[in-house]
Structures are given as structure tokens and as C-alpha cells.
Structure 1
Amino acid sequence: MRIGHSTTPPVTAVARVGALLREWRAARRWSQLDLALDAGISTRHLSCVETGKATPSRELLARLADALDMPLRERNALLVAAGYAAHYPETSLDTPALAQVRRAIEFILQQQEPYPAFVLNRRWDVLMANRAAARVNRLVMEGRTSAHANMIRQIFDPADLRPAVVNWEDVAGDLIRHLHDEVAANPNDHAARALLEEALAYPDVPSRWRRRELGTVPAPLLTTVLRSGERQLHFFSTITTFGTSRDVTVDELHIESCFPVDDATAELCRALANEDTGA
């Protein structure tokens, strides 16, 4: 279905979609030949689409989006830029349509007890968390409540969780790397760029983090060390995503599950859970 009544997208729309494709190719560091081969079209045809000389069909846009591995939100933006209606819905997690997804998430959070788990969106907003996450957060923040519902802000704000993170440079540096990658991979995501700039503006953030480090290979597992008085808690995390989603909201969710690195951390988490239940 097209937007409006015209059967052919206007020239301005074709120009916008061409610009988007060029930006995504640049983000992926692909040539026109690379993208054309992967999408199964000729380089000449792709060049005509990018310059506005050819009108891309919905099917062609889908093939190009598949080749570029574009997220669902960006696929919608590509379609709208070309004059078509968005294809993928964006549904609130609280609606009946996503009841099964929410139930699956709640099950994962519950199963992670007595260790922390969080549900985050693409902006690193904490949408849901299990009781273990609240217990550990309350412990290391000495009973204070976080001022932010966003993990980036929690980690970077000196008045929030940051003082409790023993290996702050390791953890914050990893988050900055993810933000740089997000900005590079999604050229038109102005909100991601704004969040990156906000994180970099906090006090005592290394100036070298303003530049994206290319070619660096992150460690397979990042350990987060939290302090509570003289005690320390050591966690590593795994990320769960919904790989076959057809909804923008679900496509952008990820569940971070924390696991104890050592017996002392595991025992402390169990003790906090027992106190919480009165066992």
C-alpha cells in the first residue's frame, strides 16, 4: 500500500531513499558492488536507485534492507522515504497484542532469581527488572533509589550507580563502544547520537572515548564488579534477544541476565533473596 494516491513515489521521495541507502552502505563500509551482489541486482540498477533515476519497488527495498541487515525501525523509515507505508508495527509492551512476549519475558526474569536481570530497549531504558536486580541495586546504593531509568545514565552519573562500580572504566568503556557502534550502524538515529554525547559530557569521562576505536575486539565476557562497603559482587552478563520478531518494539528489546562469577557473590545473592522473603 502506498501513501497517498499516486502510483509512483515522487522524485523527492526517490532522492531520500537513495540518500538513506548510501548512508547505510557507508555505515557498513560496502561499495555499490558489494550491496548489489548481496541483494542479487545489477550495480547499474542500484546506482540508478541511489541517484533517483529508478523507482525502487517494495520488494527491492526489502532485499536491500535484508542485505544491509537493517533493524525493523530503519526498514520502516526506508519504506516511508520511498513513499510507501511502513510495514512493521510498533506495539506497546503493555498491550494485549504482546501479552505472550511479556509473559515470556517475565518468565525469564523470574527464572534468573536470585541473580539480577533487566529488560532494556534500544535506548538502554530499563523497562522491567526482577526483584534480584532491585535487591542488589538497593544494597550497593546503600538504600538510595536511582534517579534514572536508563542504564547509561545510571552508570555515568557520579550521583547514581557509578561510585559503586569498582571497574567503572571497563564497564563504561564497553557501553561507550556499543553506543559508538549504534551511531555508526544507524546513521539517522539522532537519539542514539544524543545519548552518546550526553554520556561523554559527564565528569571525568576519558577524552579518548570521543573517538570510535575501530578494529578493537571486545572481551568475550565483561565482568562487572560492584561494591557494598567492604564486600564486592562480581557478575558477568549474557544478552537475550527476539531474533524472529515482526514488531519494532520486540525487535529492539534485549534481556541482560547477570550471573555470579564466584561463590561469594552467589551466596550473597541467595542471602539477599532469603531476607526478602523472610526465609
Structure 2
Amino acid sequence: MDTATRAPADQYFSDFAAALRYWRTKRGFSQLRLSAESGISQRHLSFLESGRAQPGRELILKLGITLDVPLRQRNVMLLAAGFAPAYQERNLSDPEMGAVKQALDFMLRQAAPYPALVVDRLWNLVMANEPAGAMMRWFLGMPAHAPIPRDGSVNVIRLTLDPNGLRPWLANWEEVGADLLQWVQREAMGDGPGSEAAALLAELTALPGMREASAAPNLDRRALPFLPLTLRKDGVELNLFTTITTLGTPHDVTVHELRLESFFPADEASADWFRQRPGTAS
């Protein structure tokens, strides 16, 4: 669906002035610094933030680049000022996205026998390789060939932290949950009030135990350079860690927000479990 159709529902600021003040403050810029880095006079920036001056389209795009505003929110700023969005938002099934989907399919296949999946900015599942599907089926007690929805209807963070999802098998769910909530908090702060990210954050924080887990810092972590996910079921213990890959220099909202999460074994026993599992080889 085109961004121009969807954007009004995503507009979280009353006007352009409010959006500019929000992003300047969020990035820690003074008006003087923003003026110096954008080449726009401080007096004009002051007028823009007070609503005494109206911006042009190119000026908004320049400010979006200077403040490193996400593409989705640059569209919101444009809409707030009365302009059409500059960045498209297309579905991965669109013909124009063929090269992107092909690249993601290739990376997912190369990750085998270890799990890998593609999520959007709110961690809704978009794509997954077979090892990821097999791991989810095993931990969730699903039939061996049950389909894993890849249409965005499954939220990976919600599935992980829900007491009726993966949490019973996640031995260190408090630590993992606190880290995962930080990803959603960043999106919620970027989107502003009334956003989908803010609603998701409120939903996740309301899950049993999550508010306490996210508020208490862990001062007794293992001496590892990463946070492991420790999964235990039927005498099997899997110690994994993840990496996040994004696509470089995107000019499409969807592409900008896609993340490929790859799971790697943190010990040899976990690696052997995946290598020996049927149907997970590349």
C-alpha cells in the first residue's frame, strides 16, 4: 500500500512546528547547532518552531537529513506541513521489491542450519528460514509441518515474552525481556505519542512481570560480550546470541525498517543440536 494512503493514520504531531521541536530536542540539538549544520538561519528556525513561518518541501527534507529522522517520520513532517510524502512504502511482494526480497531469501538460506528471520520495525515477522520455523514449532508444541505466518501477524517480541508463548522455555527471560523492550522504547520515542510503537510498548510492559524485569538492572551477568538467550525444553539447553542486519542507504520506508535477525550458537552443544536436526541444513 502506498504511503500516501496510509500516512494520515500515522501522523502523531499536531503541526510541523511540534514535529520539528520534538526531533530537535530528541537529537540534543540547540537551534544554534541545527542552524550551523543545516545552513538554515537560527532566526528562521525559531520562526518555524513557533509557527510564524511555514517550511518548503526541500527545507523539510534537509532538516530530516540533518536530524537523522527516520524516513517514516520525514513523511509525517511533510504531511504536517501540507506536502505529499517523499518516501514510498511498498510491500515486499511488489515487483519493484524483487531484488530486495531475493537478497533477503539468499541471506536466510545462507544462515542454515541456524535460525534467521526478517522483521519490520515493530518486530512483526515478515520472513523466516526453515530452521527458525522448526525451532518455533518445537518450542511452541506445533505439528512438524504447521505453517508459520509470515504476513506480519506474528510479533516476535510478543511471542517471546508472552507467558503463553516462548517465555516458559526462556530461562533468562527477565534479562532478554529488558533488552527487547529497549528496542520498542526507541521506536516509541521516535514515533511520538499515539503511535503503534507506543501501543505495543504499553502492551508488552503490561505482561506479567515485565514492568519489574525492565526496571531492575542486572548487575550479575556472565562475562560474555553479548546477552545469550538460554532456552530449555525436554532436557535440551540452547545458548544462542543474535545479530541484527539492516539494508544500506534505503530510499523506501519498508526497506529502511526491515531487520534480519540471525541466531548463532554460543557453545558447541547448541551448534550440534541445530546441525543434527532434520530439515535445517542449507
Runs of 4+ aligned residues of structure 1 deviating over 4 Å after TM superposition are 144-148
1:216 corresponds to:
none
Aligned length: 257
- 1:40-82 Cα offsets, whole Å, 9 max, x none, are 2221111011112222122211111011111111111111111
Equivalent residue letter for 2:43:
R
In the superposition, the TM-score normalised over structure 2's length comes to: 0.84
Which residue matches 1:276?
279
From 169, 173, 179, the equivalent of 2:178 is: 173
Runs of 5+ unmatched residues, structure 1: 4-14, 213-218
Residue in structure 1 matched with residue 230 of structure 2 by the alignment: 225
Alignment of 1:53-72 (within 5 A): 53-72=52-71
Distance 1:26 1:208, change over 3 A: farther
Q: Which amino acid aligns with 2:57?
A: R
Taking structure 1 as the reference length, the TM-score comes to 0.85
Question: In 1, distance between residues paired with 2:134 and 2:100?
Answer: 25
Shift of 1:209: 3.1
Distance in 2 (CA, whole Å) between partners of 1:191 and 1:136 is 28
Cα distance in 1 for partners of 2:111, 2:88 equals 30
Structure 2 residue 97 is the aligned partner of structure 1 residue 94: no
C-alpha deviation, 1:208, in angstroms: 6.5
- 1:118 maps to a residue whose letter is L
Q: RMSD of aligned C-alpha atoms? A: 2.4
Q: Please list, as runs of the form range in 1=range in 2, the aligned pairs for 1:234-245 lying within 5 A after superposition.
A: 234-245=239-250
Match of 1:232, SS state, is strand
Give 2:54's aligned amino acid. Answer: T
Counterpart Cα distance in 2 of 1:72 and 1:254: 15
TM-fit CA distance, 1:189: 5.9
Is 1:39 the counterpart of 2:38? The answer is: yes
Cα distance change, pair 69–59 in 1 and its aligned pair in 2 (3 A): same
SS at match of 2:34: helix
What are structure 2's unaligned runs of at least 5 residues?
Answer: 5-13, 218-223
Identical-residue share of aligned pairs (%): 42
Partner of 1:206, secondary structure, is: helix
AA at the equivalent of 2:23: W
Cα separation, partners in 2 of 1:94 and 1:32, compared to 1, 3 Å: same
